Structure 1
Amino acid sequence: MQDRELPPQPRFDLTGQVALVTGAARGLGAACAVALAQAGADVVLGLRDAGRDDGPASAIRALGRRALPLQMDITRAEEISRAVAEAERAFGRIDILVNNAGIGPPNPAEKVTEADFDHTVAVNLKGTFFVSQAVGRVMLRQRSGKIVILSSQAGFVALPTESVYCMTKAGLVHLTRCLAVEWGPHGINVNGVAPTFIRTPGTAKWLEDDAFRNDLLSRIPLGRVGEPVDVTGAVVFLASPAASLITGATLLIDGGFTAR
């Protein structure tokens, strides 16, 4: 009996790819950087303070991949331009961008100052846009690339004391669509992930509060707090060839929080 040729199978391997991750020093950014390296990518680490911390560079190198820590405070246009140019010089290309850097200080709407508002918008919206623009220019020359923007379930639901954060994360969902439509004809996929509350060093103080944790868990049908690996799997998927026909989408990773 003659063997039948198997149909094409999905590929999740990123060998030979170069990824840039913003906010890569710790938390979800560091976890995404290591996950991309585990999938085969070399990784550029965008760091707000590269002089103090090289992020997960040693873990990436231990996997046999190249790591390049760079100074990249995304509220500073000159640092964005310099870091992207240095990454392209070092590796010759940038295939994947993970826009992870973001902030979300809680504050009742009536107490938000103009400085509070401007800082959150500068990081979450303005910074993400101009990082996307700088890397997008590289990808446009290549006529290929994958961009993953980290939004939040807060971009889909209203959370008390998080009005500015929710607004910026909702803006990122629509920015994802806009860039996908504009850059799709040039071979660039732009997608997002929108996690629920994820267990990281930055969220530890909230999860140690029994009242907060119990209230959070009561809103999540799957009944557990998210772990970094719940997010990194989706990021690697969206950066991989397996997601080549997906663009303009934001994948909710919320345990069912927004389905209620």
Structure 2
Amino acid sequence: MQLPDASALRMPRVIAVASGKGGVGKTTTSINLAAAMVNAGQRTLLLDTDLGLANADVMLGLSPRFTLSDVFAGKCTLADTLLEGPNGLLVVPAASGKQHMAQLSAQEHVGLVHAFSELDLPLEVMVIDNAAGIADGVLTFCQAAHDVVVVVCDEPASMTDAYALIKVLGRDRGVQRVHVLASQVADAAEGPALFAKLERVVSRFLDITLNYLGAIPRDEWLRRAVQRQEAVVDAFPSAPSAAAYREVARRARQWQQPTGPRGHVEFFLERLVGQPAAPGSRTP
């Protein structure tokens, strides 16, 4: 694999995709968001941090030689795990069926975050596919990202668990804003209705701002793309779900870039500290 020239490293936007409950379309969202970013001309890395039950590489039809499990075992470096996916999408795969990877310590999670500062790649976006739930790794990777996307669907358990995840991120990790993406919606009204239901509870009990990111329709073409081990934005670009994912990516590209460190664990912190100050910004 030939990597891009790393002569000018900039601070990539890091987007963590999470969900309280599994099976709501989190990994599918991560893959299609990353693929849509690449198709829009942005150098993008997809990081799979579902450390014990990883499947992003499988869903893209990739066969990794090394995974994050090998990095922790000292068998390779983080750069050695890089895979090149469709259209130049870079993928860092995690391990599947490795119980010890699901039981890493808090310090090891932070160590993985810091390891990305040594990855000399000119990236513009990194999308993190988290495990479902509120395990320490999920919380750390969300905290270390610039933006958190929580995927929900019209199931009571999905909504309840999403609220629990948002609550813990705000209370324990200082996350102040969360983007909500409705998945598997039956019609145009379902997404805003799910968001309104979640926002009512969050605004009443939590000091966190929710942003409605959009909705992904229940789509036969999306199911077929999963079976083909491709992103729907690549396999069936005219499908309704593909159009929805492109719109999500378009909105994400408009989010404000980070202008300085936030004082806690962060991906690519050295790049953030070393980048020039934004016009009009002041240093303390």
TM-score w.r.t. length of structure 2? 0.43
Greater relative CO (CA pairs within 8 A, separation 6+): 2
Identify the structure with the greater helix proportion. Answer: 1
